[in-house]
Structure 1
Amino acid sequence: MISTLDPPRAPEAYAALRAGLDQLKAEGLYRDFVACSYLAADRGHALHHGRRIQVWCTNDYLGMSQHRDVMHAQLASTLRHGTGNGGSRNIAGTSEAHVELEALLAVWHAKERALVFTSGYVANVETLTTLLRAEPETMVFSDALNHRSLIEGVRTSGNAKHIFAHNDLTDLELALAAQPLERPKLIVFESVYSMDGDVAPIREICDLAERYNARTYLDETHAIGVQGPTGAGVCETIGEDRITFVQGVFGKAVGTTGGYVAGPDVPLDYVRSHAPGFIFTTTIPRASLDATLASLAVIRSPEGVRLREDLHANAELMRRRLTEAGIAHVPAPSHLVPVLVPGGARVKRVSRRLLDEFSIYVQPINFPSVPKGGERFRVTVAPFRTEQQIDRFVEALAQCLADDPS
């Protein structure tokens, strides 16, 4: 007999996932993507659904992705070598450009070896996880504001860890001193922290590492290209060469794609031989690597010096204009200009109005990237920005903030 009762309804597909998304939206934390297609002939501008906009939040700090030498190098390499390398580094994917680039990076950072990865995130996760799992007795000391990739690498390893207060040398030393001197230790931190634009006390951390028998792993992601006489980062600026491992990226100031770690030969050879995220992935195309080499040639040249000088001068001008307009911002010592706009819903409203009415794109930064109540814009001011453009940005921002005070 066929029942006339309706059959029991199956649970909604992906109900838990939908609930999680609904919660993000209710809390104002759902992330919207803004489509912007950059214009190489009109640097600092992009097309947004066919409309020309100015972009003030890119990580392409020096505009190298649109530098003629870099673009021409990638085009010429593509025509000669094609669009891909055809496999992993182990299976026909290691090009001559890989070899040349890794040798250059090792010399640049005064290390024995460098290893190129598909991204800075992968470089951090794979290097930390692989090395720490190989030495499970190593205890990790990680800065409280470290990037997610550093956190994930330490967490996935399963090694014992201590999270020390951000840039707090006293907290770090107390934690180091609490461990036996002979116990292997690794201090993991960044040089420039992207959300506040502040800089780590690198020399003092190296002093503690020497005192307490620790190695160091420094993420120079946001300093590569923009700090140092040749752009090698904060360590080069201050003349500090005691860091054990230096991590950097190409996807920010270098203007291409990929990441790397430089350090001692044996540990990085071990990573090369054991890290799944290095072994089992298709490599960066030769054309992109040739573009990276071309970009580094500019960054390390007198032109690179001028670009860095103009970048920092523009950041300082932006900070002055914000102060004059009464707009709250973090007085960072780096090229990054964090503008404080508390309130998750508010920062999104201001961002949307800037885009819709002023054709200015600056991405809202909210939780979990920053604590709730610490919402902000992370403004970047490229070397080619003019004083008039900076003034217009500040005027538009001031108007939006005044019209939306809470």
Structure 2
Amino acid sequence: MYKFFKEQLDSKIENHNLRTLREYCPLDAVRVKRDDKEYLMMASNNYLGLTFDTRVIEGALKGTQEYGTGSGGSRLVSGTFPLFTELENALAKFKNTEKALVFNTGYMANVGTISAIADKDTIIFSDALNHASIIDGCRLSRGTIKTYGHCDIDELKYLLKSVDRNTQKLIVTDGVFSMDGDIAPLDKLYELSREYNALLMVDDAHATGTIGNGHGTAAYFGLEKEVDIQLGTLSKSLGSVGGYVAANSTIIDYLVNTSRSFIFSTALSPADIGAALAALHVLESDISVLQRLHENVNYMADKLISMGINATNETPIFPILIGRNEDTLAVSEYLYESGIIGTAIRPPTVPIGESRIRLTVTAAHNKEQIDYVCQSLHNAMKQL
């Protein structure tokens, strides 16, 4: 077996596809340090820059001081402390739903929700570029999976028409796609879900805090009360860790009783919950944070476009498509030598031939930093 593992790793090296871990020491929301050199972080999902916000840190400290360092067990066994209830009530209000349920990660939320609400008799319609956690949740459900082309409404409609209307059906999509930064056509997906009697689920991991006045994809399209299941994460814009599902009380109560990743996981720590709750309050009460993010997104897009680099998204995710793994690694290394973290994204995260640098801008970046990143990227691309 060890020989097999070594052969697989050697193959990844040969194909310029080996992953390694690099250790960084965060200095603030946008700067990290490694081997006494400072780097500008342009690969984080910390979209609102709240990981070093004093209000969020205070929330984490308060949670620890009141409830200790750990939860001690799963919530169905050892109970739910009041901070959990407060956060779930706040999330339900934030997403304009009846209830919300917190999971340990967004990944576990997707896997646990899809595998609970779908079974072998369910047909799942999944966007081709959905996140791995959605894909894995679909597989675990043992339902029939029908993948439609990325944001291809016509193909989805064709697939829906081809199955029995009375069959249990689920349409699931990312709200903002993590590697492309584009927004799912949720309004059209909603129309199809009602026309063909299907549940509609949207994963707002990269949409919460970025679109729909920070409330996500359903809010962006004015469908907050219409989408059946809104899933999200506490670990990106909200600067903590964890995931959540927001829906009507029937779905949430059902998940409490059937979702294995919820039932059999030790609950998050009080610090995690306290930080997420504080970050949610910041997002709702301090409009300047979201304004800074939108200003930086527009500024960076304009800067890249002026340099001939495609940047047309409304979101903080800027996919710089390069193609070959070795070229993508070369650009990433150039950026690294320039003091910029711009990670090379390669298969299987993206399709073969579509390797890219995935840059993300946050509310905590300043214009001078954005200028430097764009110019450095422009210089790196000229060398290909």
Give the TM-score taking structure 1 as reference length: 0.91
Q: Deviation at 1:310?
A: 1.9
For 2:23, the equivalent position in structure 1 comes to 35
* Structure 1 residue aligned with 2:64: 78
1:334 aligns with: 315
- Number of the residue aligned with 1:275: 259
CA contact (8 A) 1:47 1:53 kept: yes
Amino acid at match of 1:14: Y
Question: Unaligned 5+ residue runs, structure 2?
Answer: none
| Aligned counterpart for 2:95 among listed residues 92, 95, 109 | 109
Query: Which of 361, 367, 370 lines up with 1:390 in the alignment?
Result: 370
Structure 1, unmatched stretches of 5+, are: 1-12
Aligned length: 383
Q: Which one of the candidate residues 118, 137, 154 is aligned to 2:138?
A: 154
SS at match of 2:245: strand
Correspondences of 1:30-109 after superposition (within 5 Å): 30-40=18-28, 43-109=29-95
SS of residue matched to 2:323: coil
Which amino acid in 2 is paired with 1:337?
F
The letter for the 2-side match of 1:18 is: K
Which residue is equivalent to 2:5? 17
* Farther-moved stretch of structure 1 (68-77 vs 214-223): 68-77
1:198-224 Cα distance to aligned partner (Å, 9 max, x none): 111111111111111111011111011
Q: Is the 8 A contact 1:217 1:246 kept in 2?
A: yes
* Aligned twin of 1:351: 332
Please tell me whether the aligned partners of residues 62 and 274 of structure 2 are also in contact (alpha carbons under 8 angstroms).
Answer: no
Q: Encode CA deviations 1:299-320: one digit per residue, 9 max, x unaligned.
A: 011x2x3222221221222122
User: What one-letter code is carried by the residue in structure 2 that aligns with 1:158?
Assistant: R
One-letter code aligned to 2:237: A
- Which residue of structure 1 aligns with residue 117 of structure 2? 131
Shift of 1:93: 4.9
- Contact 1:227–1:308 at 8 Å: present in 2 too? no
Contact persistence 2:316–2:362 (CA under 8 A):
no
Deviation at 1:354, TM superposition (A): 1.8
Which secondary structure state, in structure 2, belongs to the residue aligned with residue 377 of structure 1?
A: strand
Contact 2:109 2:231 in 1 (8 A): yes
* Percentage of pairs with the same residue: 32
Counterpart AA for 2:347: F
- Equivalent residue, structure 1, for 2:359: 379
Q: Does residue 236 in structure 1 map to residue 219 in structure 2?
A: yes
Secondary structure, in 3 states, of the residue corresponding to 2:101? strand
User: What is the aligned partner in structure 1 of residue 298 from structure 2?
Assistant: 316
- Structure 2 CA distance, aligned partners of 1:318 and 1:66? 23
Give the aligned partner of residue 399 of structure 1. 379
Please state how far the C-alpha of 1:336 moved relative to its aligned partner.
1.5
Letter in 1 for 2:302: R
Q: CA deviation at 1:291?
A: 1.1
TM-score by length of 2: 0.96
Q: Which amino acid aligns with 1:373?
A: G
> 1:300 aligns to what SS in structure 2?
helix
- In structure 1, what is the equivalent of residue 211 of structure 2? 227
Aligned 8 A contact 2:346 2:356 in 1: yes
Identify which range, 234-243 or 196-205, moves more after superposition. 234-243
3-state DSSP of counterpart to 1:334: coil
Report Cα offsets for 1:231-253 as digits up to 9, x if no partner. Answer: 21021122113110100001000
Structure 1 position 81, deviation (Å): 2.5
**In structure 2, C-alpha distance between the alignment counterparts of 1:244 and 1:313, rounded to whole Å:** 32
Which secondary structure does the structure 2 equivalent of 1:186 belong to? strand
Pairwise CA RMSD of aligned residues? Answer: 1.5
Whether 2:172 is the aligned partner of 1:188: answer yes
- Cα distance in 2 between the residues matched to 1:37 and 1:379: 19
- The CA distance in 2 between the partners of 1:24 and 1:137, in whole Å, is 38
CA distances 1:18-66 after superposition (whole Å, capped 9, x unpaired): 11111111111111222222113xx310111332111011000011111
Is 1:262 aligned with 2:246?
A: yes
Q: What is the CA–CA distance in structure 1 between the aligned matches of 2:20 and 2:256, rounded to whole Å? A: 37
| Larger displacement relative to structure 2 (277-286 or 86-95) | 86-95
SS in 2 for 1:341: strand
Greater RCO (Cα-Cα under 8 Å, separation 6 or more): 2
